[in-house]
Structure 1
Amino acid sequence: MKKNSLKLIFTGPIKRLDAFISSRHEEFSREFSKKLIADGLALVNGEKYKPSYILKEGDQVEICLPERADTPFEFEKLVLFEDESLLAVAKPAGLCVHPTDSNWERTPQASLLREETLVSLLFSARPELAALPRLGLVHRLDRDTSGVMLVAKNETARMALSVQFRDRLAKKRYLAAVSGRPLKDTGIIDAPIGRASGFKKIKVWEYGRDAITEYTVKEKAKKHTLLDISPHTGRTNQIRIHLSYIGHPVIGDKLYGGESAARMLLHSAKITFSHPDTGKSKTISAPVPPEFKKAWAKVKKEE
C-alpha cells in the first residue's frame, strides 16, 4: 500500500504528539492518531515516539497517509477546475463525501482502509489539504447524488467560500428525473424540513427549518419528468424531500419513495459563486454522467 506524506511544523503551547495530530484535523480522532503513531505512520523529526511524547517548538511531525491501491476512481479524471486557491471535482454517484455514520468510527480509518470516500481520494491526491478543516470541503452532496463539489486549497479561500454557502450567495442547479408529471411547468416548494421527535428520517415538518426549492420542467415523458432544480436553501436531503412531498419523488431514491433504478437520478449540474481571489462570478459545471443518461433513457423506453 502506497503512502502520502504530510509534514507539519509544531508551534504553540506544549502538547502531546497524539493531541497535536488530532487537533490539526477534525477527521483525526485521538484513537486514530494513537494508531498512526503506534504503526510508525506518524514520526517526529524522522523518529518514532510514543503518543505521550511532548512536542517542542520547531519539531517536524510527518504523517504518512495510506493510499488505497484498489480504488475504482481516478482522481485526476474527476477534476473539473483547479487553480492556486480552488479545486472543483465531479463527485460520482455512489461515492460518500465523508465516512458514514454506519462505519465503526467516523475517521479516516473507515475512509482510507474500509470505504472509499471523497475524503480518502483527497488525502491521496492532495495530501497538503489535510492541514485544512474538512480538507477544504465547503459543502456536501448525498452519496447517491453526482456532480460539482468545491474544495478550497487555502484557509482564506475556505473562509470566503464558506461564507457564500452560509449566506446563500452560492447558487446551485440540479437535474432531477422524477415520477409523474407536475401540473405546472414551474413551481416553488416552500415547506419546512426537520426531524420530528421519534422519527429517524428527515421530512417536511411544521416545526422544521425553512426550506425552499424552485423547479422548472426540462423534459416531459409519458409518466415521468426531467426537472431543472434551484434550491434557495441548503437543508439536508432538501430536494429529495420536497419532490417526494409534492408527489414526484426522484427516480432511484429508495429513502423517499422513488422508483427503482440503477442509480438515483439527481445530479448537481452547476455552481455559481464569487471566486475567492478575484471576486468575479464563476460558474463550474459537471457534465451529466453517462449512467444518468442511460437510466433516464431506460425509464422513458419502459413507460
Structure 2
Amino acid sequence: MAVPLESAGRRLDQVLAELFPEYSRSRLQQWVKEGRVRVDGKPMRPKDKLQGIEQIDLEPVVVPEQRWEAEAIPLDIRYEDEQLIVLNKPAGLVVHPAVGNRAGTLLNALLHHAPELASVPRAGIVHRLDKETSGLLVVARTLQAQTALVAQLQARSMTREYRAVVAGVMTGGGTVDAPIGRHAVDRKRMAVTPNGKPAVTHYRVVERFRGHTDIRVRLETGRTHQIRVHMAHIRYPLVGDPVYGGRLKLPKGCSEDLRQVLRGFHRQALHAGRLGLEHPGSGLPMEWEAELPDDMCRLLEVLRNDAEQEESA
C-alpha cells in the first residue's frame, strides 16, 4: 500500500493505524518490531518518520490459542454470523481460563463451537462478565471484528445495561463517578481509590421493596467488578455478593420465604440483560435482550410477595 503524500513527516505507527484501521495500533507496533512491516522493502522502527509515497508491505500474523482445549460445553447463543457471536452466559461459568479454572470455561466452549477462534486473541472474547454474573456477551470471530468492537468499548459507544437487586431502599436513580483500582490490602478485591482508573455507572430504580431495590444499571466504563464496587460504595451492595455484600440484612418481620431465599442466594444478583453495538461489518446498529434468570425472577417474586403481605397486614 502506498503512503499518501500528505503523510510526509509523520511517524510510521501513526500512518499504519490510518492505513490499516482493522488492526489495533499496539498490534501494528508489535508487527513493526517483529519485522513484519517493510517500507520500500526495508524494516523501520515505529517512531521513524515517513517521507510520503513509500510502499508499505504488511505481513499480519496472529498466534493461535494453542494453550487451551476445546470442550463440548452447551452455549446459549442468541445471534451469530461470520463476524460475531452474541451469547447469554449462565451464572457459574468462568469466561477465561486461569489458575484454578484451566478447563470448563466459556473460552473452552467457544473453541469447540467455532474452531477458527483459535486464530483470534482470547478466542475473540471482547469483554468479560464475572463468574457469577449472568447475561449477554459479544465474541468476535475475526481479528478485524475484535479490533472494531474493542474500539467501540473504548469509545463508550457500546451499550451494556444490567439488572441488579441491591440491599436498601433507594429514593431514586443517579450516577456514581468514582475511580476504581486494586484494594490497598486485599489485592484480589477492587475498591474506589483516588489513584484508580475512571469509572462511571448510571442506575435507575425499577421497583422498590421493604428493604431492597430492583434497579437497571448502565455502564459507561468497564472496570473490573465495577457495578459491585460502585453499589457497595454508595451503601447499596448487591444481594448475595460474597465479596462486597457485607453482612446479610433481613427486613424486620420478613416472611419465611424471603428469609430462605436471601440466605440461599449465594451469588451477586446481577444480570447483563441488554447489549447494543454497531455491527463491525455492516456498521448497522444491533441490540439484544436476555430475560432474567430463574434465580433472580424467584428473588423478585418473593420480595414482591413480602411487600404485599406487609401492606395488607
TM (norm. structure 2) is 0.69
Aligned position for 2:138: 150
Following the alignment from structure 1 to structure 2, what is the Cα–Cα distance between the partners of residues 186 and 67? 42
Distance 1:187 1:27, change over 3 A: farther
Segments of structure 2 that go 5 or more residues without pairing to the other structure are: 1-33, 36-61, 249-262, 308-313
Residues of 1 paired with 2:96 and 2:287: CA distance? 25
Offset at 1:67?
A: 3.2
Aligned pair in 2 of structure 1 residues 256, 196: CA closer, same or farther (>3 Å)?
A: closer
Is the contact between residue 65 and residue 119 of structure 2 (CA under 8 Å) also seen in structure 1? no
Q: Which 5+ residue runs of structure 1 have no aligned equivalent?
A: 1-11, 14-22, 33-64, 104-109
Asked if residue 267 in structure 1 is aligned to residue 271 in structure 2, the reply is yes
Give the secondary structure class of the aligned counterpart of 1:282.
Answer: strand
Q: How many positions carry a matched residue from both structures?
A: 231
How far did 1:222 drift?
1.1
Q: RMSD in angstroms over aligned alpha carbons? A: 2.2
Task: Tell me the CA shift for residue 121 of structure 1.
Answer: 0.8
Match of 1:93 in 2: 91
1:263 deviates by: 3.4
Number of the residue aligned with 1:250:
238
Deviations 1:116-156 (CA, angstroms, capped at 9, x unpaired): 11011112221221111111111110001100000111122
Question: In structure 1, which of residues 186, 194, 204 is the aligned counterpart of residue 181 of structure 2?
Answer: 194
Task: Please give the secondary structure, in 2, of the residue aligned with 1:24.
Answer: coil
- In the alignment, structure 1 residue 218 sits paired with structure 2 residue 216: no
TM-score (norm 1): 0.71
Q: Which amino acid aligns with 1:121?
A: A
Q: Which amino acid aligns with 2:299?
A: A
Q: Distance in 2 between matches of 1:222 and 1:140?
A: 33
| SS at structure 1 position matched to 2:228 | helix
Find the residue that maps to 1:148 and give its secondary structure: strand
Q: Give the drift of 1:209.
A: 1.3
Structure with greater Cα Rg: 2
Structure 2 SS opposite 1:67: coil
Counterpart residue number, 2:193: 205
Supply the distance in 2 between the matched residues of 1:118 and 1:167 (Cα, whole angstroms).
Answer: 26
1:230 equivalent among 211, 218, 222:
218
Report the residue type matching 1:290 in the other structure. D
Instruction: State the 1:283 CA deviation.
Output: 0.9
The offset of 1:196, in angstroms, is: 4.1
C-alpha spacing 1:262/1:297, structure 2 compared with 1 (3 Å)? farther
Give runs of aligned pairs for residues 1-303 of structure 1, distance below 5 A: 24-25=63-64, 28=67, 65=69, 67=71, 71=73, 74-75=74-75, 78-103=76-101, 110-111=102-103, 116-183=104-171, 185-200=172-187, 201-257=189-245, 259=248, 260=263, 261-301=265-305
Structure with greater strand share of residues: 1
How big is each residue's C-alpha offset from its partner over 1:80-111, in whole Å with a ceiling of 9 and x where there is no partner? Answer: 011121110000011010123344xxxxxx22
Cα shift at 1:202:
0.9
**Contact 1:25-1:134 at 8 Å conserved across structures:** no
Distance 2:191 2:229 in 1: 6
1:282 maps to a residue whose letter is M
- SS of the residue 1:165 aligns to: helix
